[in-house]
Amino acid sequence: MDADTLRALLPLIIISATPVAVMLVLAFYRSHALTVFLVLAGLALSFASLFPASGLLPRMAAGLLVLDHYSFFFMGLMFAATFAVALLSYGYLGRKDIFPDEYYILLLIAAAGSAVIVSSSHFASFFLGLELLSVPLYALISYPRANPRNVEAGIKYLILAGTSSAFLLFGMALVYAELGTMEFPRISTAALFPGTDRNFVLAGVAMIITGIGFKLALVPFHMWTPDVYEGAPAPVAAFVATVSKGAMFALLLRYFTIFDIRRYGSLMLLFTVISIASMFAGNLLALFQNNVKRLLAYSSIAHLGYLLVAFLASGVLAAAAVAFYLAAYFVSTLGAFGVISVLSGKERDADMIDDYMGLAWRSPWLAGIFAAMLLSLAGIPLTAGFIGKFFIAAAGVDSSLWALVIILVINSAIGLFYYLRVIAALYSRRPGALAASPKLPVLGGITLGALSVALLWLGVYPATMLEIIRNTISRFF
């Protein structure tokens, strides 16, 4: 490994070193503010180091990690999202009666895991990244451990993530047994050799897809999502919904593009069915939720279904669509959970729709931000979500996936109904459970403000983001 490769690895090195540094500082001095400052500085540094390192791309590191513009784009996205989660967590944890510091260490390790996933090119690094991401999440979800709901959610996540890892490992073993390689690029070529037992490989791939499906919460592997979202602290739920899913999706997109999924009719069919089922199940089940976190959980299932439409479309346009949609989805989801976070009190999260009754008249800005985030998730113009949805529809139409595109638009309409329910509550004339005017924490307010600016920026003038995507994602093809 030469010096240039090490320099290209800098973002990963920094994000891995930060938790260690924070841990060392904690051994001597405990201060919530200082910890958060270090965490934010570490994340900002990792993000900043992407730029000087990007001149040295693309290159492989130790046969395990592929460092190219594609992985750097998603690393940047993951770091930025973690940054927002950390900011939101500060106020959220400050109101709880717990030691907040270790939380951030776990958060950073999970972020490092996501960065490893998006740059992995080998089963070993993929699995390592996955576990780096999952294991801290068990602890993060049940972090306010005095609350049985958190512990329940944590254990649920532990069991399901454990099961999915087992599936994944078994699938990898089957593929390795037949093809004799664990490197993604070589798997795709090896699979085409005459004499390989396709059934073995297909069984292996099916198991890997099962494992990934659990992580992405695609139907029929979605059962855990609402319970975990409901039980997890709001910022952690935001993290699960964005970083954990986004990293997985980025990996999926990269290797199925190399694999050229359109050559495999059965895989196409499988993902088509999963996509349709996820859209319908997510949206229809969300209709009946009275808990905002559960509602967002079901909506996130549907959003992954939308993403699969672009994924199935495959091609340069589709990859750019996925990248943009993920960015838009990150901003909106972080914003929505961010509002829940800043409104949550010491005892419980503000997660019932009734809690939001008439919020618009007590704190119009907060309600406006929440409404904007929900409208973006619904894909209404002038928000990031609309451009994302338009992009996906364009990719779908471009590849003549008519049925999927029609189902996507039908689902957007169904989806709108439950987002409107929340917005109707926000602007209801009746006062709700949170009668007192909530006091907005400074950091939370700044974060939400920045997220709203990003939301409108992406929605009104997406040219900047598209240029970034063109220079990173599209280069991969």
Structure tokens of 463? 């040219």
Piece of 71-79, 152-160, 171-179, 460-468 that binds other proteins (CB under 8 A): 460-468
CB closer to other proteins out of 144 and 396: 396
How many Å apart are CA 212 and CA 222, to the nearest integer? 11
Dihedral, CA of residue 215, residue 218, residue 224 and residue 228, to nearest 10: 70
Min dist. Cβ of residue 396 to other proteins (A): 8
* Radius of gyration of the chain measured on its C-alpha atoms: 21
Least distance in angstroms from the C-beta of 219 to other proteins: 22
In whole angstroms, give the CA distance from residue 70 to residue 116. Answer: 13
Query: Token pair for residue 246?
Result: 């986004």
**Which of 51, 288, 461, 477: binder of other proteins (CB under 8 A)?**
461
Q: Which is nearer to other proteins, 145 or 470 (CB)?
A: 470
200 binds other proteins (CB under 8 A): no
Q: Among residues 277 and 397, whose Cβ is nearest to other proteins?
A: 397
CB 18 within 8 A of CB 42: yes
Binding residue (CB under 8 A) for other proteins from 56, 380, 440, 450: 380
d(Cα 206, Cα 461) in Å, to the nearest integer? 40
Q: How far is the CB of 456 from other proteins (least distance, A)?
A: 12
Q: Give the H or E element holding residue 235.
A: helix 234-239
Give least dist CB 410 to other proteins, A. Answer: 8
Please select the residue that binds other proteins; options are 148, 345, 381, 431, rule is CB under 8 A.
381
Residue 403, interface with other proteins (CB under 8 A)? no
- Kindly state the smallest distance separating residue 68's Cβ from other proteins, in Å: 21
Q: Is 162 in the site for other proteins (CB under 8 A)?
A: no
**CA atoms in the 13 A half-sphere facing the CB of 240:** 35
| String of DSSP letters for 105-134 | HHHHHHHHHHHHHHHB-BHHHHHHHHHHHH
Nearer to other proteins, 172 or 393 (CB): 393
How many CB atoms lie under 10 A from the CB of residue 149? Answer: 15
Residue 430 contacts other proteins per CB under 8 A: no
282 touches 301 (CB < 8 A): yes
Please give the residue ranges that form the binding site for other proteins (CB under 8 A).
Answer: 360-361, 364, 375, 380-382, 386, 390, 393-394, 397-398, 405-406, 409-410, 412-413, 416-417, 420-421, 424, 427, 429, 461-463, 466-467, 470
